[in-house]
Structure 1
Amino acid sequence: MADQQPQEVRWLDEAEQASWRAILRGTRLLEEALDGALRGSGIQLTEYEIISMLSEAPGQRLRMSELASMVVQSRSRLTHTAKRLEDRGWVARQSCLADKRGVELVLTPAGKEAIERIAEVHVQSVRDNLVDILTPEQFMAIGHAMAIVRDHLDPEERSGR
């Protein structure tokens, strides 16, 4: 194995540092605002994201490992979150229809009712805290930029797994 010289760090210049800090703080504040808007409905943003993904999935069910990847959670964290949703009667764990070895999370009728009710709160919060404070061009630019980041960090996402 050849000796590899450490690469010299390319430090951020002042403008890059300001943009990076704005991205970091802005995404954290946005997540906090979206989570706060859902709090009145008795749900956390991470829980909402899961039942939302299930509501859009074929048969309203997804394999736990696939869902964990989609919502960027470890499998153990997803298991804990799923337990909270199960306790509310919004989801159920079932054997995978395809191979019986895996476990799928399935949206229940009560979960479907909850997502339909809570979605309005979430969408309004997304509009109030992001979409409507930007021009359409700015919003699309953020979406395109984050898609590049997503594809860099999760190349399987780009290929559709």
Structure 2
Amino acid sequence: MPKLTVDAELIEQLADLMDEKNLTELELAQGEHKLKLSRAQAPAPAAPAPAPAAAAPAAPTTSAPADKSSHPGAVPSPMVGTAYLAPQPGADAFVTPGEAVKEGQTLLIIEAMKVMNPIPAPRAGTVKEVLVADGSPVEFGEPLVIIE
């Protein structure tokens, strides 16, 4: 087995890319070697931003999205990427409104940096609403699904 050499500059660039793109995980494979970088994502920076917007006079027009994100059953996106509601084009969706789900069941997948990340149900319940469209971009903290 060939000796693995670590390029510290590459790892630093990848870490910077993770920060820049707000990624929680990044995996790089070359031959039989894999490098996986991951970090805990603190949602605190996202919380202060909506407060000033809510104080703006246009609050009534933005109340619907705010209601969805503050819904106790909302499942937020853990990363930035593209949401897919089915495992492959033409396949049935992972979940549909009205469907009962178990904790850990895949709700959808988010593609980030060509990596498909399954988003599990954080609790058992019934899918009230799917808030994103298939193939749509999602932001960190954006509500994806409501489970009651």
TM-score by length of 1: 0.26
Structure with greater strand share of residues? 2
Structure with greater helix share of residues? 1
- Structure with bigger RCO (C-alpha 8 Å, 6+ apart): 2
TM-score by length of 2: 0.28
**Bigger radius of gyration among the two:** 1
